[in-house]
Structure 1
Amino acid sequence: MKSQYLLGIDTGGTYTDAVLFDETQGVVAKAKSLTTRHDLAVGISGAVDAVLRQADVPVSAISLVSLSTTLATNALVEGQGGRAGLVMIGFGPEDLKRDGLDQALGGDPVIFLPGGHNVHGHETPLDMTALEEALPELSKTVSSFAVAGYFAVRNPAHEIRVRQRIHEVSHLPVTCSHELSSKLGGPRRALTTLLNARLVSMIDRLVGACEDFLIRRGIDAPMMVVRGDGALIAASEAKIRPIETILSGPAASLVGARYLTGLDNGVVSDIGGTTTDVAVLDGGRPRLDAEGAVVGGYRTMVEAVAMRTYGLGGDSELHINDRGLVAGLHLGPRRLLPLSLAAATYGDAVLPVLERQKRATHMGRHDGRFAVRTGVPDHLAAGLQTQEQALFDRIGTTPVALDQLLTSTSQKATLDRLIARGLVHLCGLTPSDAMHVLGRQGQWNAEAARLGLELAIRMKDGSGRPIAASPEDMAKNIVAALTRQSAEVILAACLAEDGIGEIDPARSQQIDRALRRAPGIVRFTAALDRPLIGLGASAPVYYPAIAEMLSAESAIPGDSDVANAIGAVVGQVKASVTVFITMPEEGIFIINGSGDSLRLFNEDDSFATARQRAAEAALAQARLNGADEPVVSLIEEIDAPEVEGQRKLIEARFIATASGRPRIAHH
């Protein structure tokens, strides 16, 4: 039988990864390419073409393509997205003050319509006059619409009518709140719907770039996208509900970690250049955020992995505190361009300067630091203040030493503002440089890293001694600082999962004693109850020591550098549907959810109907999401207390979940 190759792609903020995967052989080939924000297809083609060359596999052998991405998350964090029109049915202006909806809306337009339903699905008449008056002009100023109706999860009829009317007049994308969540809480559902509407064009562009590339390469296979809970969804559905792809990248890394290690329980820590992401694997599944994912400061109704992100990575900025009797080192949260990478990229602009600074008789305050433009398009540099523009003009596309760039103390703050806007990279000493000097990394320029460390150890601590005896000692101290801070952020994430997030490991004297193994009559210990799974290209060099500090077993899989892309192809398609039953009066049972409201007069009949409706709807949605042969499971939640000796049904919920592997092409 011929191999069925699966192509996994992960489009991250810095790199786009690709893997070619076979269900019997595992990873056949893997590659990385820089993510190209201006045209995502360039980064995708760079990574995919590289794996196809490595594997020497004909494109006709690829039977599935699956994509994970952090672009939706990044967009919400950075406040990006299209302008959306929000239509609220049955709500009033006071509802905008709840759940941050007003803040999220910003200057986007909102229309209030009389209508909506009650908890049993009974309607208040819908009046679309305000919509009819506003639509012709509004359609010219927004890129999409969001529609949220009062109790629409119980009866979506008004949302559907409004959507049809908007489509007829504007032909623009429309998101309805009942399509995204079955949970109550109108304003938060409206917020989630608004954010979804803003993301439509961005995810459409990403999926479109990927589809166009596949067509050009002659790859004819179904395409899936990873959701924030780790499940897969058909690309066509992801275009409609892009909000479900927030935290797609971290979710894919958890699915990849589970596949690569075979472990059901673990603490997964993914170290990149800029950040460390920490999450928990429980019973073979990622722990989900019960309240809904928080992204860009907004609590959504999207089920997603409970992931905590910290500004700590291999390229984190090194801060040296030389005021104490012993110098203190601290890393992050800002990312620097490592000296070893800067020299590998712009050799002549970096090495001679470091050598000049080393020859100087006195140490300079900006030794070992450079600035270089990030290369973003010119229009993103619009609106700079006079002093910012003047400094920006002096920074070119090759690094310039700070001791030559900055002529006054105030210019340091100006430079920091340019860095914060993403216009300029700061180059300097990082853990990646320390690893080059220790011989544990070797992809860039080790000579520049050594010169940077030689400059750093000219600093004296509070007692007048050099802060380290040699570049190697300094490198070990930097790696020790990363190990300690990594242990602290992993503990912080785990303590929060255990419900005791008020303990700050970076400040706790007890945890400090435990991590240092400090002797004493009372001895403190801190340990994880499960293995530490290290992911990321630099995981093998950092995580054994971090696991040892946390008294945990270390699990670093062989392909940890592309765990996200692997998670994108080994996941399952999953769809959940909830059907509700309420009893407004004795002997009358109202069924709502996944179809028109039904009114029945017998509890057993209504329960049987609700079970069947939930199961059929979940199977249909799973097939729409791309599942091949989905299997359904059912959970029943019956809220029926006894009141004065009589059982009283408040609400019954029938939650059907259908799951299965994605459909693949049979060539």
Structure 2
Amino acid sequence: MAILLGVDTGGTFTDAVVYDEAAQEILGKAKALTTHQDLGAGVAAAVDAALAAADVAPGAVALISISTTLATNALVEGHGDPAALVLIGFQEADLARAGLKAALGTDPSIIVAGGHRSDGAEAAALDVAGLRSAVGAAAGGVTGFAVAGVFAVRNPEHEARAREIIAAETGLPVTCSHELSARLGGPRRALTTLLNARLVGMIHRLIEGTEARLAERGIRAPVMVVKGDGALMSAAVARARPIETILSGPAASLVGAAHLTGRARAVVADIGGTTTDIAVLEGGRPRLAPEGARVGGWLTMVEAVAMRTHGLGGDSEVTIAPDGLVAELALGPRRAAPISLYAMERPAAHEVLDRQLARTRAETHDGVFVMPGARRAGLDTLEGRAADIIGEVGVGAAVESLSLDSRGRLALRRLIGAGYLRRAAFTPTDAAHVLGLHGEWDGEAAAKAATLLARQKGNDGEKLAADGPALARRVVDALARRSAELALEAALGEDGFEAEGMAKRPLAAAALDGRRGFAAPALALNAPLIGLGASAPVYYPMVARIAGAEAVIPEDADVANAVGAVVGRVEAKAEALILSPDGDRFEVMAGGAPVQMETLAEAKALAETRAREEALKRAEAAGAETPEVRVAWDEKRASVEARETLVEARVTAVASGRPRF
């Protein structure tokens, strides 16, 4: 028996599964609240509970595999360690391309002479003296360096030499662009490299903290990390290439969906506390974004799943839409702690809710609380009242008790936006408690909050709902309807349509509402809808009915991400390129200086050998056990003066295998 441990750190929960590799069976699973101040603590709590459920000793664990939202969240929120960008052979004007200047912010950039031409030949000598001088001046204010050279994917010699110099001069980690992507497009490759350099320390701290917490429990197994395309890589590779963990969590959920359901073609929707992630499976594999992962407004060159993420989840705050005469519900995108969870942890909340219910007049902040957030350090004076407000909140407080003036309300909003404070308010999770669809936390508090929200009035003076249960039903129905719209828009987008907002258009809305007149419009998914997430059994049967699809909700839908983390395969890719400048000679570019070959057959043989060797080397470094290699060729030809000529031939080798343990 080989015991593997899968872990997923999400925005609300950290999940863990104990998996028997030989039997391909889940022996135990558990959830723990994610501890944002110390992610290792939440991981340890989930692992402890999962091992206890499986009745497995910690020392029996042979492998740990983690999926994480850390890199994605860091880029979305603009966090990361300071890094210097070294550009070889670029011009100052290139900083204006691909968002490089905006991404740099206050971090330094260094431009030195060097670089190569498109055929791999040296365009100018590398300015070693200038590089040493500039690197020494920048080293004191950064934690790492990113190096990108012109046409480095055709010849990486200058990047490799620059890395040697920087490492010797500073001792800091260095990321080279040719190791992250084989694609042309220097500024975007430089952007990807810069973002990677900023994440190195963050991923290192996550892995080191997790390893330390698990070692305390007697778990000293190798650690793997899920990449954004769903494949696995060793902790060592993840430390060097953390940018590849973008969309790690969503990718793991797709791998888990395929494993748990056996479906090869499906639309997959994963509902969490904060967001709903939607993607498709084709041929049993996640479909990848053709241009690269777009995260936090940056278009990177990282291969990742084609995932659509929406601010709709079980913890989306329920509010009244600000526009319109009649009171309408709005769900998210702001996240709030469910009142049922807040009151379970702070029973004194009932006194506040009862006092508010005893009033005859509804107030805007009824049923709304604030509590400390994850962020602690670096507080600036936001609006004068910031420090006072944090002091008043303590472990938690009703918003009405803060007695805020307009300046204080502005400070409160900014404190919440900056992560110093969090809101607790009515959410779809609370609505599910009121309707008896969910019962883990304090349902009585949820019912009180539902009554308070139901009596809020629109501009027409009418209440939002007749009572608390009616309000809860409206919330659940609204979430199901919106989820169906998002699933259909994702499917339409995969089919090549401009789908954003399409499901809200009158004809589509009539189809989803089932309206029948002289015409009977119809709109439906042409694939099963796999629902994932702890609340998937609550919502996705309704979502599938609206979307006209078969609902597939696996038994372990609540831990699909952790399952995907542990059942995935290690996969590494390498490419080699053949160019024919004059049609009579051939240049092979495969990770070093170009090699001249006399015939195309010789060039192809060398290119394939180099690509295979490099893919195997990368797969083994990433932790693969006896990887297998598959090869694909792509040739581009042109007709010049009635003579067919090879423009380029590219070979891609992919080595994959299960991880070593």
TM-score, structure 2 as length reference: 0.96
- The residue type equivalent to 2:248 in the other structure is S
What is the CA–CA distance in structure 2 between the aligned matches of 1:491 and 1:574, rounded to whole Å?
A: 31
Q: Distance in 2 between matches of 1:649 and 1:537?
A: 54
Deviation at 1:214, TM superposition (A): 3.7
- Structure 1 match to 2:611: 614
The more displaced of 641-650 and 316-325 is 316-325
Query: How far does the alpha carbon of each residue in 1:303-339 deviate from its partner, in whole angstroms, 9 at most, with x for none?
Result: 0011111111112111235986754222111112222
One-letter code aligned to 1:600: M
CA-CA distance at 1:465 after TM superposition: 5.2
Matched residue, 1:469: 466
Change (3 A) 1:177 1:463: closer
The 1:424–1:643 alpha-carbon spacing in structure 2 relative to 1, beyond 3 Å, is: same
Q: Provide the residue aligned with 1:447 in structure 2.
A: 444
Q: Does 1:641 align with 2:656?
A: no
- When structure 1 is superposed on structure 2, of 407-416 and 634-643 the one drifting more is 407-416
CA–CA distance in structure 1, aligned partners of residues 569 and 178 of structure 2:
23
Alignment of 1:111-150 (within 5 A): 111-124=110-123, 125-150=125-150
Aligned-residue CA RMSD (Å): 1.9
2:425 aligned with 1:417, yes or no? no
Give the direction of change, closer, same or farther, for the CA distance of 1:601–1:313 in structure 2 (3 Å limit): same
In the alignment, which residue of structure 2 is the partner of 1:592?
A: 589
Is the contact made by 2:292 and 2:303 (CA closer than 8 Å) also made in structure 1?
yes
CA distance 1:106–1:439, shift in 2 (3 Å) = same
Residue 632 of structure 2 aligns to a residue whose secondary structure is strand
Of stretches 66-75 and 469-478 in structure 1, the one that deviates more from structure 2 is 469-478
Which amino acid in structure 2 is aligned with residue 97 of structure 1? A
- Who is 2:109 aligned against? 110
* Deviation, structure 1 residue 93: 0.6
The answer as to whether partners of 1:279 and 1:286 remain within 8 angstroms in 2 is yes
SS at match of 2:141: coil
User: 1:62 & 1:342 partners in 2: Cα distance?
Assistant: 35
Mapped to 2, the partners of 1:301 and 1:161 lie a distance apart of 23
1:527 is paired with a residue whose SS is: coil
Give the match for residue 342 of structure 1.
342
Deviates more, 1:481-490 or 1:388-397: 388-397
In the TM superposition, what is the alpha-carbon distance from 1:276 to its structure 2 partner?
Answer: 0.8
1:10 is aligned, of 8, 16, 28, to 8
Q: How far has the Cα of 1:503 moved from its partner?
A: 4.7
Verify: 1:294 aligned to 2:294, yes or no. yes
Find the aligned partners of 1:502 and 1:169 in 2 and give their Cα distance.
Answer: 51
Q: Is the contact between residue 5 and residue 20 of structure 1 (CA under 8 Å) also seen in structure 2?
A: yes
CA displacement at 1:481 relative to structure 2: 1.0
| Deviation per residue, 1:630-653 (Å, 9 max, x gap) | 111111111112222212111110
Q: Partners of 2:459 and 2:164 in 1: how far apart?
A: 72
Cα displacement (A) at 1:409: 5.3
What SS is found at the alignment partner of 2:140? coil
Q: Which amino acid aligns with 1:351?
A: H
Residue-pair matches, total: 659
Matches within 5 A, 1:160-239: 160-239=160-239
After superposition, give the CA deviation of every residue in 1:219-259 in whole Å (9 maximum; x if it has no partner). 34322111100001111111111111111111011101110
Percent sequence identity over aligned pairs: 51
Q: Which 10-residue stretch deviates more, 311-320 or 229-238?
A: 311-320
Residue 587 of structure 2 aligns to a residue whose secondary structure is strand
CA gap of 1:213–1:456, structure 2 versus 1, over 3 A, is closer
Gap runs ≥5 in structure 1: none
Q: 1:396 to 1:506 in 2, by over 3 A?
A: farther
Q: CA 1:364/1:219 → structure 2, altered by over 3 Å: closer, same or farther? A: closer
Give, as a single letter, the amino acid of the residue that structure 1 aligns with 2:14: T
The TM-score normalised by the length of structure 1 is 0.95
Counterpart for residue 351 of structure 1: 350
Structure 2 residue 349 is the aligned partner of structure 1 residue 333: no
Range that drifts further, 451-460 or 152-161 = 451-460
Conserved 8 A contact 1:11-1:69? yes
Q: What secondary structure is seen at the aligned counterpart in 2 of 1:640? A: strand
Change (3 A) 1:581 1:4: same
CA contact (8 A) 1:346 1:399 kept: no
- Please show how residues 203-602 of structure 1 align to structure 2 within 5 Å: 203-321=203-321, 327-348=327-348, 350-374=349-373, 376-377=375-376, 379-400=377-398, 402-408=399-405, 411-460=408-457, 466-505=463-502, 507-602=504-599
CA distance in 2, matches of 1:291, 1:496: 15
**CA deviation string 1:418-473 (max 9, x = no partner):** 22122222222221111111111111111111112222333456776544333222
| Distance in structure 1 (CA, Å) of the matches to 2:138 and 2:404 | 51
Conserved? CA contact 2:374–2:419, under 8 Å:
no
Secondary structure, aligned partner of 2:581: strand
Match of 1:594, SS state, is coil
- Partners of 1:325 and 1:334 lie apart in 2 by 23
Q: How far apart in 2 are the matches of 1:258 and 1:106?
A: 41
Q: Per the alignment, in what secondary structure is the counterpart of residue 412 of structure 2?
A: helix
Corresponding letter in the other structure for 2:415: L
Match of 2:25 in 1: 26
d(CA) in 1 for partners of 2:66 and 2:564?
Answer: 9
Is the CA contact 1:111–1:130 (under 8 Å) kept in the aligned structure 2?
no
